[in-house]
Copies of this chain bind each other. A is one copy, B any other.
Amino acid sequence: MRVSRSQAAENRQAVIDAASRLFRERGFDGIGLKDLMEAAGLTQGAFYKQFASKDDLVAQASERALEGAIQRWLATAEANPKDPLGAVIALYLSMAHREERGGGCPVVALGADAARQGSEVKASFEDGIRKYLDLIGEWVGRPKGEDSTDKAMAVLSTMVGAMVLSRAVNNKRLSKRFLQAAAKSLMGSSPGAAQKGQLR
């Protein structure tokens, strides 16, 4: 029943990937190791040869989820060199993102859960959040008389909050309006944007 080292490494990655998705869908406490391991094609018994504890997996899956999100931001930016921030904001504040909890922003899906965890998990989030800020900070350019990190923090806050709110309500129109209102308020933030006037 033993597998090769590289197969074991692949299995390990599969567990982290499954966890990064399932934690976002159900919360850290919303899914057990048995279901997580089965989602990765293994049985529960194999878990502790790969991870020290569930908390260990929580930290690693958080890190993975943040990395994935940042990669998606980078890909979106590269595809839209004239207005990277506008493109990322449009992707982020979309109903598609609202519906896709398992593959969406980990700060929205797990930020409150992370606040209840130990410093290891928060370190994963802090790293990812700093990278978010660095990217936005680049994209907002040099706002006049403003610190670009402060500006980036305000922009990210609006994005995260709008998605949390959008997901917490039943009414689809209200959900959508939160995303649109946030997008509108962020319109001035990307210098590359062809100023489109009011969205309406």
Q: Which residues of A contact B (CB under 8 A)?
A: 25-27, 29-30, 101, 107-116, 119, 122-123, 125-126, 129-130, 145, 149-151, 153-154, 156-162, 164-165, 167-171, 174, 177-178, 180-182, 184-185, 198
Contact = CB atoms under 8 A, between A and B. Distances in A.
Identical copies of this chain, number: 2
Given A153-B182, A154-B185, A182-B154, A112 B111 contact: yes
B122 A170 contact: yes
A101 B180 CA distance: 29
A107 B162 contact: no
A170 B128 CA distance: 12
B126 A184 contact: no
A154 B164 contact: no
A143 to B, nearest CB: 11
Contacts of A108: 112, 164
A142 to B, nearest CB: 16
24 contacts: A26-B116, A27-B112, A27-B116, A101-B116, A107-B164, A111-B167, A112-B167, A115-B168, A122-B168, A126-B169, A126-B174, A130-B174, A150-B181, A151-B185, A153-B162, A153-B181, A153-B182, A154-B162, A154-B185, A157-B161, A157-B178, A157-B185, A161-B161, A164-B164
A145 B150 CA distance: 26
